Amino acid sequence: MSMSGLDSELEELYRRRQGAFQVMLASVTGSVESARDVVQEAFAQALRDQSGFRGDGSLEAWVWRIAFRIAIGSKGSHELTVDEVPEVAFVHEDRDPTLAAAVRRLPPQRRMAVFLRYFADLSYAEIGNVLGIAEGTVAATLSQSHAQLSAEFSTREVIA
């Protein structure tokens, strides 16, 4: 198998971001251990199928999509679609039950956008890339999520 230019970029991405991948994917798989395995397999698949990266988005967004497909068990080679947005939940809900409950009440796509923003630390453009939606839609989705969370918090707790 020949080495390509993407090898070093993937390795650099892995070294820089594998921790964030694990944290985010644990929200899908339910544990850090299984999330780590997904991350390992996602990067392995990215190394194997480099022709699948068409360069129309960032390399990181492409790896995220592979990782989510593995995490939700989708074997097809098609892109992740809005219909396929995985269910995400906090691994340690007990640390902040109020936030966990409020986030649980968000619709799946809003919840996913919130997790990608605050766990994966992705920009609006990258979130759009991962979910296959426009950046403006991401902004609107997050704005709606914030409004819903704000309403939830104001009725349940007062934060200094």
Partner 1 sequence: MSTYNDTLLVARFAALAPEPRPGDWADVLDRVGRPRPRRSRLPALPRRRRLVVVLAAIAAVAVICATALAVRAYFIESGFIGIPPAGATASTPETGRLVLSAYGVARRSRTQMWLYADGRLIWRRESPRGSDLAAGANRRFTGFLEQRLTKRGVAMLRSEVLATGLVGRGLALSLDDQPCWNGIDVRQADRFIGVRWHGSHCLAEPGGVKGTRPATREQARALLRLMERLAYPGSWLPATAWSDRRIRAYVPAEFEVWYGAWPRDLGLSHVLRPLPAPARKLLRAAEPRRWQVRSGPVHGVLVPTSIFTFRLSTDDARSLRLVLSARFDVDWATEDYALAYRVRALGPGGGPVLLEFDPILPHGEPAGVGG
DSSP state of 134: -
The verdict on 59 binding partner 1 (CB under 8 A) reads: no
Q: Tell the burial category of 26 from Cβ atoms under 10 Å away from its Cβ (0-12, 13-18, 19+).
A: buried
| CB of 59 or CB of 84, closer to partner 1 | 59
Give the residue, chosen from 19, 52, 107, 136, that forms a contact with partner 1 under the rule CB under 8 A: 19
Contact status: 158 vs partner 1 (CB under 8 A): yes
| Binding of residue 87 to partner 1 (CB under 8 A) | no
Cα 63 from chain centroid (whole Å): 10
Give the number of other CB atoms < 10 A from CB of residue 132. 16
From 62-70, 74-82, 93-101, 126-134, give the range in contact with partner 1 by CB under 8 A: 93-101
> How far is 110 from 45, CA to CA, in rounded Å?
28
Q: What are 102-109's contacts with CB under 8 Å, separation 24+?
A: 102/148, 102/149, 102/152, 102/153, 102/156, 103/149, 105/148, 105/152, 106/145, 106/148, 106/149, 109/82, 109/85, 109/141
How many chain residues touch partner 1 (CB under 8 A)?
40
The identity of residue 144, as a single letter, is Q
Of 6, 9, 36, 125, the one binding partner 1 (CB under 8 A) is: 36
- Residue of the chain from 6, 59, 72, 91 that contacts partner 1 (CB under 8 A): 91
* Span interacting with partner 1, options 44-52, 54-62, 69-77, 126-134, rule CB under 8 A: 44-52
Task: Give the residues lining the site for partner 1 (CB under 8 A).
Answer: 1, 11, 14-15, 18-20, 22-23, 26, 32-33, 36, 39-41, 43-44, 47-48, 90-93, 95-96, 99-100, 118-119, 146-147, 149-150, 153-154, 157-160
